[in-house]
Structure 1
Amino acid sequence: MENERATAPVIATDPLELDGTLVFRLGYDGAAFSGFAEQPSQRTVAGEVRRALETFLRRPIDLTCAGRTDAGVHAISQYVSVPAYESELEITHRRWMRAMAALLPNDIALGEVYHAAPGFSARFDARARAYTYRIVTGDAPPLLTRNVTWWHRLPLDVEAMERAAACLIGEHDFKSFCKVSSAIGKPTCRNVMSVGFEQASALGEDHIAFTITGNAFLHSMVRTIVGSLVEVGCHRRDPQWLADALDACDRQAAGPTAPARGLCFMDVTYDEGVLTVCP
């Protein structure tokens, strides 16, 4: 009976006016999803989240996310905004957590619930987004982290990769590092604020973690950057080659696209005070 109480619907009392915005911080294992955005006949993160929220709120909803992730990409802190009525803003944090635990599939988890002003957009009000890509090298494949890392086998010269990645900082045209079809007729300039590598460990398994933060990212941009950096790390290319590829504004000038499973959407930055934690 606990789940029945947790998922008891809240019906909006005012059908005409939206009074604020609900913002949800979600995590998900992207392995079984065809990306975040809804697609016909495909299992998507947005589809599962929308169904859960509509079941709980008993009304159609409109989701906006901070950044669409591709098929197989994971997230720790994906933000989703939903315009809300006053009665929905009165739902307690505990009730939200219990309801979404019951209604969401086990590969999506609600991490936090926030309130924001009317008109807030998880996408357009975001100031920065951060992704981390994890690579395991060596003869032994990862076991416990195999679904969230790229096993590359060959050793990588991380210092050379760091020198190459320095050219990415700042505002550039990243057309060389995005899916060709997604760049047609669309702006491809983005501002990368920071890049960095670290040697890390998870569940006792070592990996190389590459983290990149920017105002926004193009389709497959991070994965293509990683694939290109690995070319440098293997000494198949020198560090200057990445800068030349960037300047070329041509997808054929860059390296291969790294597998989706190693990429995780890590965080989103908003202006201070814009989000308040749901009581």
Structure 2
Amino acid sequence: MVGASRTDGGAHAHGQVVHFDVYGVRDNLEEDTLYYNSFLPPDVRVLGMSYADPGFDCHFSSCGKTYTYRLSAGLPDPLQARYRWDVYERWCTRSRGKPGRLSDVALDVGLMQRAAEGLLGRHDFTTFADAKRPAGLGSAKRKNPKLAEKGIKPERTAAKNTRILTHLTLSESVSSVTGGQEVTMTVTGNGFLYRMVRMLAAGLVEVGHRRITPAGLAEALAAADRSALPIEAAPPHGLVLSRVHFAGDAGFEARVRAVAEAVRARGGPEAEAEAGAIERELGQTQGQRAAALMRAAAAARKAARAQGEGGAEGGERGVEGGDGEVVEAGAGAGVEEGEEELGAVDYSKLRDRDDDQ
């Protein structure tokens, strides 16, 4: 069984999609849905089932995802403690336990929204990838001692860490129990780096507490360096995977086009090039993006070997993952030269090399 999104431990989902192979065809999938639910723990439920086309992969066939992140800036509601980040607790820790005033904890949602608008579009989001798992690492397991001995650290390319955010909004409400401020962040993109959504939430909270300005957050994004934003990721329990988008999702495609037009409206050749890149990626699935990156990595290694600059002795084979780790590329890391169609991708070779959440 394969899930569309690898959610963090402690996070939630009400829009997760999974696929698995079955033998034979059953007529009553509604009956099967009830049957599977009878074996699941109470916090997991199958909402519906359908047959997919041959070659469908719920992770690599997806075009984007929508997440929500919920937080509370007032007195914590104990009944919601598992589903919201209580910013109040972090504020008390930073204030060394001093009671202060609840107004000190309140978030400036308008300022947060201004900062959020600066994050929309196509960017290198290395700054918002959690440092505990470097961006571009994927699930690499094999160590290459030759690289480590020589102190060689693989280059983390901007292309591998580039994502498109099409929607990022913050809504505010009042708790019916405590009367405290509650904020919900909703974000949609064509993919997300490791803990990227939680880092976005943490960064916007810093803006809401006026520790960082919207311009400062934009500068940190442009730096494409994790050290440019020295904060911890927001805790996982406020995160919910709301929806996985697939080809033909009119709402998702319309948002991508709107972002491209907004970029093009800035004018100039750079804006036109960026808008074109966004439009080209409109119909790309996660599998096609991962395969394209693997092809580019294979071409770069081939060129380096031809110039006698293969890195490790004899030109090590493999796609460098991070900090002395290497993933065996094998036959082009799952895609042969000229294979452009989704069905031509060998997902078994790509799955552990894809770093998208």
**Do these two structures clear the TM 0.5 threshold for a shared fold by scoring above it?**
yes
CA distance in 1, matches of 2:239, 2:174: 16
Q: Does 1:121 align with 2:57?
A: yes
- Structure 1 position 145, deviation (Å): 1.4
Aligned pair in 2 of structure 1 residues 204, 177: CA closer, same or farther (>3 Å)?
A: same
2:214 is matched with which residue?
239
Q: Does 1:215 align with 2:190?
A: yes
Considering only CA atoms, is the larger Rg found in Structure 1 or Structure 2? Answer: 2
- Structure 1 position 113, deviation (Å): 0.8
Contact 1:130 1:268 in 2 (8 A): yes
CA distance in 2, matches of 1:92, 1:272: 26
- Larger strand percent: 1
1:129 alignment partner, SS class: strand
Q: Does 1:143 align with 2:70?
A: no
2:113 is matched with which residue?
162
Contact 1:165 1:242 in 2 (8 A): no
2:246 is matched with which residue?
270
**Residue identity opposite 2:87 in structure 1:** H
- Larger helix percent: 2
- Structure 1 position 167, deviation (Å): 1.6
> Which structure 1 segments of 5+ residues have no match?
1-62, 274-279
Larger mean CA deviation between 92-101 and 245-254 belongs to 92-101
CA distance in 2, matches of 1:271, 1:202: 37
Q: Does 1:261 align with 2:243?
A: no
CA distance in 1, matches of 2:5, 2:59: 7
CA distance in 2, matches of 1:245, 1:105: 42
CA distance in 2, matches of 1:68, 1:224: 16
Q: Does 1:152 align with 2:87?
A: yes
1:10-56 deviation per Cα after TM superposition (whole angstroms, max 9, x unaligned): xxxxxxxxxxxxxxxxxxxxxxxxxxxxxxxxxxxxxxxxxxxxxxx
Aligned pair in 2 of structure 1 residues 246, 177: CA closer, same or farther (>3 Å)?
A: same
1:168 alignment partner, SS class: coil
2:128 is matched with which residue?
177
TM-score (norm 1): 0.70
- Structure 1 position 182, deviation (Å): 3.5
CA distance in 2, matches of 1:71, 1:182: 18
Percentage identity across aligned positions? 34
> Which structure 2 segments of 5+ residues have no match?
89-104, 138-153, 250-357
- Structure 1 position 92, deviation (Å): 1.6
CA distance in 2, matches of 1:93, 1:133: 32
CA distance in 2, matches of 1:202, 1:102: 35
**Residue identity opposite 1:176 in structure 2:** T
- Structure 1 position 94, deviation (Å): 2.6
Contact 2:2 2:59 in 1 (8 A): yes
CA distance in 2, matches of 1:215, 1:141: 33
Instruction: Write the mapping of 1:179-218 to structure 2, written as runs, cut at 5 A.
Output: 179-180=130-131, 181-183=133-135, 184=137, 187-200=160-173, 207-218=182-193
Q: Which of 218, 227, 230 matches 1:252?
A: 227
Larger mean CA deviation between 71-80 and 106-115 belongs to 106-115
- Structure 1 position 99, deviation (Å): 1.4
1:79 is matched with which residue?
17
Q: Which of 228, 233, 237 matches 2:203?
A: 228
Contact 2:68 2:187 in 1 (8 A): yes
**Residue identity opposite 1:107 in structure 2:** D
State how many pairs are aligned. 208
Aligned pair in 2 of structure 1 residues 84, 201: CA closer, same or farther (>3 Å)?
A: farther
Larger mean CA deviation between 185-194 and 195-204 belongs to 195-204
- Structure 1 position 144, deviation (Å): 2.1
1:4 is matched with which residue?
none
CA distance in 2, matches of 1:160, 1:70: 28
1:165 alignment partner, SS class: helix
Aligned pair in 2 of structure 1 residues 91, 201: CA closer, same or farther (>3 Å)?
A: farther
1:246 alignment partner, SS class: helix
Query: Pairwise CA RMSD of aligned residues?
Result: 1.9
CA distance in 1, matches of 2:174, 2:38: 32
